[in-house]
Amino acid sequence: MRPRHVAVAVMIAAIWGVNFVVIDVGLASLPPLLFAGLRFVAAAFPALLFVRRPAIPWRWFLLIGLPLGVGQFGLLFISMHMGMPAGLSSLVLQTQALFTALFAAVMLRERPRRAQAAGMVVAFAGIGLIGLSLGQGGTLFAFALCLAAAGMWGLANIGLRTAGPQDAFAFMIWVSLVPPLPLLGLSLIFEGPHADAHALAHISLGGLGALGYVAYISTLVGFGFWGWLMRRYDAGQVAMYSLLVPPFGMSSAALFLGERITVADAVAALLIVGGVALGSVRRRRAAAPDGVPQPAGVR
Could you tell me the pLDDT band of residue 138, with boundaries at 50, 70 and 90?
low
- pLDDT tens readout for residues 231-279: 777 665 677 788 888 999 999 999 999 998 888 888 988 888 888 777 7
The answer to whether the Cα torsion of 82, 84, 87, 93 is positive or negative is: negative
Residue 84 has pLDDT above 50, yes or no: yes
- What number is the average pLDDT over the span 163-190? 89
Instruction: Let me know: does 9 contact 238? Beta carbons within 8 Å.
Output: yes
Range from 46-50, 51-55, 177-181 carrying the lowest mean pLDDT: 46-50
Greatest mean pLDDT range, 45-54, 109-118, 125-134, 192-201: 192-201
Of all residues in the chain, the percent with pLDDT exceeding 70 is 91
pLDDT at 296: 36
Residue 297 predicted with pLDDT over 60? no
pLDDT > 90 in the chain, percent: 46
- Higher-confidence residue: 160 or 112? 160
Query: Taking 50 as the threshold, does the pLDDT of residue 88 lie above it?
Result: yes
Q: Please state the rounded mean pLDDT for residues 67-81.
A: 95
For residue 284, name the pLDDT band (cuts at 50, 70, 90): very low
Using the predicted structure, report yes or no on whether residue 289 has a pLDDT greater than 60: no
pLDDT on residue 33: 97
Q: Answer whether 135's CB lies under 8 Å from 155's CB.
A: no
- pLDDT computed for residue 286 by the predictor: 40
pTM for this entry: 0.86
Q: What is the mean pLDDT of residues 147-164?
A: 89
> For position 287, what pLDDT does the model report?
40
- Of 70-79, 163-172, 209-218, 268-277, which range is least confident? 163-172
Does residue 81 register a pLDDT over 90? yes
Reported confidence tier of residue 65, pLDDT bands at 50, 70, 90: very high
Q: How far is CA 232 from CA 5, 226, 235, 237, 240, in A?
A: 10, 10, 9, 10, 15
pLDDT for 178 beyond 60: yes
Chain centroid offset of residue 225 CA: 15
Predicted confidence at residue 241, as pLDDT, reads 82
